[in-house]
Amino acid sequence: MHGHHSPVPGDGPASGLLDQVEEAEAALRAAAERGRPGAPDGHAVDADPQEYFTALIEADQKIEPRDWMPDAYRRTLIRQIAQHAHSEIIGMQPEGNWITRAPSLKRKAILLAKVQDEAGHGLYLYAAAETLGVSRDELVELLLAGRQKYSSIFNYPTLTWADVGAIGWLVDGAAIVNQVPLCRCSYGPYARAMIRICKEESFHQRQGFEILYTLAHGTPAQRQMAQDAVDRWWYPSLAMFGPPDRDSVHSAQSMAWKIKRFSNDELRQRFVDMCVPQAEVLGLRIPDPNLRWNPERQSYDFTPPDYAELMRVISGDGPCNRQRMARRRRAHTEGAWVREAAAAYAAKRAGRGPAATRPAARDGRAAA
């Protein structure tokens, strides 16, 4: 976004992925224009609901909230969308950790806006989950009770300013690689939320890349800070794609339902292939001695992340799991009296009827 640095070729590190988001958006519109198979009004009264559901999926039409869907499809989506929403909310913490210490006012403003976007993404995703018949309050309770997960990556600490850059470049980069295919997810509200989110994420990734580029081309201490951050975030970012395909429990059914379009290992490979040339532009080293181009596969060979560590972090024993959950619970508990007051006030206003709105209007004029 700042031309004088000009570190990023083309439209940015994720520009190819952004094209795919645009294509997904066009496909969504095209599907809507084609109309649904065998039911001009969208509701086939006579058809067997299971068959109709399958026909919609096969025709690359979107499943909408009022459509019949198998319980397992609904449960899978609720689990996945909620986990995604929780990740946005918990993900505010590691980056929010640097808002008060951002090293320039411009960086402070960019970081505040980014963390605010994450809260906004959390809101759209909770709204998408609510279309499946579960309330945001229930989902928040499940998170706070430890019964629903969030992305394990946010259980690592942000120890230096460069970590904010590394999160933008690697973590948001991995998130985009994961999420771009979700723009074609068979469930309409989720696909539409993902299109919007991916566009903003690509902007965040570019900002993270720019932070690292500036550090890598700064003082020796800044350069060292940048390399240290990449060294610490590389493998946890690779682990964001989940366990290897041979161990992935949810994948096959999700692929059949077109919730998921590519396997964990395919997406991980795509991410590595995207990052290597970007690391060269940054002038930073990816901490993998086995990283090399494989001409036969037309991809990079690389060392996989430590999946045992991933499992430990998922099960609660990462460096910051306890801290992240404690902070979320504290905000929730300490805010309870505020939410109760807002509900009590709204109830009083409803009880008083329209006359109660007059003083507010008068104050509005006084304030203007």
Partner 1 sequence: MDHLLALGDDALVAAQRLGEWVAAAPELEEDIALANIALDQLGAARMLLTYAGELEGAGRDEDALAYLRDDREFRNCLLVELPNGDFAVTMAKLLFLAAYQLPLYTALSGCADERLAAIAGKARKEVAYHLDHARLWTLRLGDGTAESHRRMQSAVDEIWPYTHELFQPDPTAPVDPAGLRAEFLAIVEPVLAEATLTRPADGWAPEGGRRGLHTEHLSYLLAEMQVLHRAHPGARW
1 versus 341: smaller Cβ distance to partner 1: 341
Q: How far is the CB of 130 from partner 1 (least distance, A)?
A: 13
Angle at 214 between CA 213 and CA 215, to 5 degrees: 90
Q: In three state form, how does the secondary structure of the chain look? A: CCCCCCCCCCCCCCHHHHHHHHHHHHHHHHHHHHCCCCCCCCCCCCCCHHHHHHHHHHCCCCECCCCCCCHHHHHHHHHHHHHHHHHHHHHHHHHHCCCCCCCCHHHHHHHHHHHHHHHHHHHHHHHHHHCCCCCHHHHHHHHHCCCCCCCHHHHCCCCCHHHHHHHHHHHHHHHHHHHHHHHHCCEHHHHHHHHHHHHHHHHHHHHHHHHHHHHHCCCHHHHHHHHHHHHHHHHHHHHCCCCCHHHCCCHHHHHHCCCCCCCHHHHHHHHHHHHHHHHHHHCCCCCCCCCEEECCCCEEECCCCCHHHHHHHHHHHCCCHHHHHHHHHHHHHHCHHHHHHHHHHHHHHHHHCHHHHHHHHHHHHHHC
Q: How far is the CB of 230 from partner 1 (least distance, A)?
A: 18
**Region near partner 1 per CB under 8 A, out of 167-175, 194-202, 313-321, 335-343:** 335-343
Can residue 99 be called a binding residue for partner 1 (CB under 8 A)?
yes
Can residue 75 be called a binding residue for partner 1 (CB under 8 A)?
no
319 versus 335: smaller Cβ distance to partner 1: 335
Q: How far is the CB of 101 from partner 1 (least distance, A)?
A: 5
**Region near partner 1 per CB under 8 A, out of 104-112, 143-151, 268-276, 306-314:** 104-112
Can residue 20 be called a binding residue for partner 1 (CB under 8 A)?
no
Among 71, 246, 334, 350, binds partner 1 (CB under 8 A): 334
247 versus 363: smaller Cβ distance to partner 1: 363
Query: Site residues for partner 1, window 209-248 (CB under 8 A)?
Result: 211, 214-215, 218-219, 221-222
Query: Site residues for partner 1, window 141-200 (CB under 8 A)?
Result: 161
Can residue 326 be called a binding residue for partner 1 (CB under 8 A)?
no
29 versus 362: smaller Cβ distance to partner 1: 362
Q: How far is the CB of 176 from partner 1 (least distance, A)?
A: 22
Q: How far is the CB of 344 from partner 1 (least distance, A)?
A: 5
Can residue 105 be called a binding residue for partner 1 (CB under 8 A)?
yes
User: Which residues contact partner 1 (rule: CB under 8 A)?
Assistant: 89, 92-93, 96, 99-109, 112-113, 115-116, 119-120, 122-123, 126, 161, 211, 214-215, 218-219, 221-222, 327-328, 330-331, 334-346, 348, 359-360, 362-364, 366-368
